[in-house]
């Protein structure tokens, strides 16, 4: 079993400004920590490429893409909303983030690796079809899902989103699509306001969205119950061909931006459950993309737990 690890120092060039929680240091401290682990050298390093416009357009409108490009290159400091800080290089780095996910997909579908994790930024799951939102420019995981289907012929895709904030953009993009099962655990009510339990899909996609909203203060036991009683039975009925994870680590009890109380060890537990799913239904094929996680002391530990499970360490 080979695990891919994708990173590029250019991800640090997306400058969100002083004091912003989604900062380059998130990747710097994580990489520094991982490089000290004895098994890190076993991971297969994967280099990203910029995503081609056709794959960005698979989920985002043509007008939005060019609006985002112009806004960044003109030197504006915000894109669409007050929580999406950008710099002149942000558009190109967002293409590189989305493209990193696609490169992992190519490596997995070619059999060069079994699974992979992308240490990338900017994150993506809040980005809507025509709007930047919540630190996100392009919806990396949604672009990846469309790419797997259209380029590689994958039929059924599971997206599990364990970021503490609901992935509104991802949900909306697949809300009527029965080929993508979107599952989210998140604090509720909380930013961005979506993700109630009664949001279950519509049309042909009815029943293919599963939200597991959690109250402030919820912890490992609450999440484990949701997995055992709701999430894993739903996945068993769906039988995905590929497993994708929107891997935010901001539901940790020490994260500053939310009020869920997961332990570091529980990220390993969730990773184990998803690995079991991937092995049982998807020939082990699993791709995990970094979303949130803003405690610079805790984020590296959680990512290490996740990667240790993916790589069998």
Residues with catalytic roles: 126
Helix residue spans in 110-165 (DSSP H): 140-152
How far is the C-alpha of 19 from the C-alpha of 30, rounded, in Å? Answer: 18
Give the tokens for residue 303: 């990512």
Mapped onto helix, strand or coil, the DSSP state of residue 4 is: strand
Which candidate, 30, 3, 2, 25, places its Cα nearest to that of 12?
A: 25
How far is the C-alpha of 174 from the C-alpha of 52, rounded, in Å? Answer: 21
Kind of pairing, strands 78-79 and 242-247?
Answer: unpaired
What are phi and psi for residue 40, nearest 5 degrees?
Answer: -60, -35
Query: How many other CB atoms are found less than 10 A from the CB of residue 280?
Result: 13
CA gyration radius for the chain? 18
Which candidate, 291, 262, 20, places its Cα nearest to that of 141?
A: 291
How far is the C-alpha of 72 from the C-alpha of 168, rounded, in Å? Answer: 23
With a CB cutoff of 8 Å and minimum separation 6, the contacts of 223 are 185, 214, 251, 262, 266, 270
Q: What letters, b where the CB count within 10 A reaches 16 and e where it falls short, cover 203-239?
A: eebeebbbbbbbeeebebebbeebbeebbeebbeebe
């Amino acid at each position: 079993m080979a695990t891919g690890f994708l990173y590029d120092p250019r991800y640090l060039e997306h400058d969100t400004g002083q004091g912003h929680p989604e900062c380059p240091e998130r990747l710097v401290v994580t990489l520094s920590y991982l490089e000290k682990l004895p098994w890190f050298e076993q991971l297969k390093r994967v280099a990203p490429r910029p995503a081609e416009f056709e794959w960005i357009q698979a989920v985002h409108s043509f007008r939005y893409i060019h609006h985002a490009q112009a806004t960044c290159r003109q030197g504006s400091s915000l894109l669409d909303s007050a929580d999406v800080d950008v710099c002149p290089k942000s558009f190109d780095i967002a293409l590189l983030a989305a493209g990193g996910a696609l490169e992992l997909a190519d490596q997995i579908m070619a059999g060069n690796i079994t699974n992979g994790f992308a240490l990338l930024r900017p994150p993506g799951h809040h980005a809507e079809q025509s709007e930047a939102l919540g630190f996100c420019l392009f919806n990396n995981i949604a672009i990846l899902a469309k790419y797997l289907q259209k380029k590689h012929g994958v039929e059924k895709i599971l997206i599990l989103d364990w970021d503490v904030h609901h992935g509104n953009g991802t949900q909306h993009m697949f809300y009527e699509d029965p080929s993508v099962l979107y599952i989210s655990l998140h604090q509720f009510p909380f930013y961005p306001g979506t993700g109630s339990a009664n949001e279950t899909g519509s049309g042909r996609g009815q029943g293919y969205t599963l939200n597991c909203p959690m109250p402030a203060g919820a912890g490992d036991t609450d999440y484990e119950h949701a997995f055992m009683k709701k999430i894993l039975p739903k996945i068993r009925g769906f039988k995905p061909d590929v497993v994708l994870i929107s891997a935010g680590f901001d539901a940790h009890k020490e994260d500053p931006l939310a009020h869920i109380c997961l332990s570091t060890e529980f990220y390993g537990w969730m990773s184990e459950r998803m690995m079991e799913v991937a092995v049982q239904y998807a020939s082990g094929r699993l791709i995990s993309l970094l979303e949130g996680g803003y405690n610079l002391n805790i984020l590296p530990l959680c990512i290490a737990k996740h990667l240790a499970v993916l790589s069998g360490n």
